[in-house]
Amino acid sequence: MASNPTLLTQPIATNGTKNAIPNTTTTPGKMSQDQGFPSETSMPLGAGGVAPSREDFNGAFNLLSALLYYAQKGFTFNYDNTQNYYTGCIVIDPSDGLRYECIVDMAAGTVAPHDDSTNTYWQIFKSGLEADQIPAFNKRDVIITSGSYTAPVTGWYKITVKGGGGGGGGGNSTVSQGTGGAGGGEGGTSIGFEHMTAGQNATVIIGAGGSGGAAGAGTGSDGGDSTVTVNANTYTGGGGGGAGNMNAIGNATSGKGGTGTIVGESGGSTIVSYNSAMTGAQGGGAGGAVSVLLSGVPADGVNGGGGAGGSGTYNNGGSYAGSAGGDGFAWFEYFDASLNP
């Protein structure tokens, strides 16, 4: 492997007297990016020539060496709306700190990378590393109560927020065979990436799971939304929908999954017949299991999952309430260098 050439320890003339080199100039004898040293600097002084200045030489060396100085360190330059960009150019957008690759030649000021929602000119830069070469987050803080989260380290955080699960529908025994309640919907999940400094706070609201429907065909309540707000951005995991019971033989109305980057799973709607009675359906996601016939205690949802529906026996032999959805949560995942072996 070849060794490095002599590296710059700083841009040339950092502390020297120098001129800023403009793009163009009409001042006789002055250097510009467009013309370099103008023609009069090559003429004899007695024939109207102008001597090139020391400050221009220092300015030119400083301009060029500053670019080389940062390039030798592997620096990626920030997006600049005064520049034309060409396919393959890679920049950092200072608005979000992410690297973007230009995928179509574009004129200066066409669109900033983070504003290109259709990916017409820019896309998030992918390094092409194998999965086992990409550094992973090595720490996860799980938040299950509303409040303020304080970042323990400076760096990028993957934020996952999940809404509360919907409650299961209540079972009904007032019809000839009884009906079972449907399952509550799973809370939705949203995922975002934010750069946080150590000590910075994020506001966290955890959505509660919806309560189960009352015995006798009661409808389960919706789960609450969970949110994380940081750097003026809010990520929301929508609460799952509560489930119902049709008050007749057939399928009860299942709870819909909550909204988010990942929509929650709907609760079960098929009513299971057993000895002329009906068990309650399973909740969505990490939801409660199908309720055991005549037990009266269907399983609650966990981790934002929906609650199971209650069962209903035939001929008023007993109606059982649906179970509650699981409460939502938030995860903050990050890289803690102190844990690096």
**Residues 80, 62 within the same domain:** no
> Encoding tokens for residue 294?
């005549």
Residues 200 and 297 in one domain: yes
Looking at residue 278, its pLDDT comes to 66
**pLDDT for res 155:** 86
Q: Which CATH number is 100's domain given?
A: 2.10.10.20
SS3 54: helix
Tens digit of pLDDT at every position of the chain (341 positions) = 567 889 899 999 999 999 999 999 999 999 999 999 999 999 999 888 999 999 999 999 999 999 999 888 888 899 999 999 999 999 999 888 888 999 999 999 999 999 998 889 998 886 554 444 444 688 899 999 999 999 999 888 999 999 999 998 888 777 566 778 888 899 999 998 888 899 999 999 999 999 988 888 788 999 999 999 999 899 999 999 988 875 554 456 788 999 998 999 998 875 555 555 666 777 778 887 776 555 556 778 888 888 887 777 766 667 888 889 999 999 999 988 777 65
Is pTM beyond 0.95 here? no
Separation between Cα atoms, residue 314 and residue 317, nearest integer Å: 6
**27, 86: one domain:** no
Range of the domain at 313: 136-341
Q: What's the CA gap between 220 and 309, in Å, rounded?
A: 9
The single-letter code of the amino acid at 180 is G
Separation of alpha carbons 291 and 272, rounded Å: 10
Number of residues in the chain: 341
Q: Based on the fold, state whether residues 8 and 30 are members of the same structural domain.
A: yes
**Residues 293, 274: one domain?**
yes
Using the 8-state DSSP alphabet, how is residue 319 labeled?
B
Question: What is the predicted pLDDT for the residue at 130?
Answer: 47
pLDDT of 301 = 84
Running DSSP on this structure, what letter comes out for residue 106? B
Same domain, 140 and 188: yes
Q: How many domains does the chain have?
A: 3
Judge whether 180 and 187 are in contact, CB under 8 Å: no
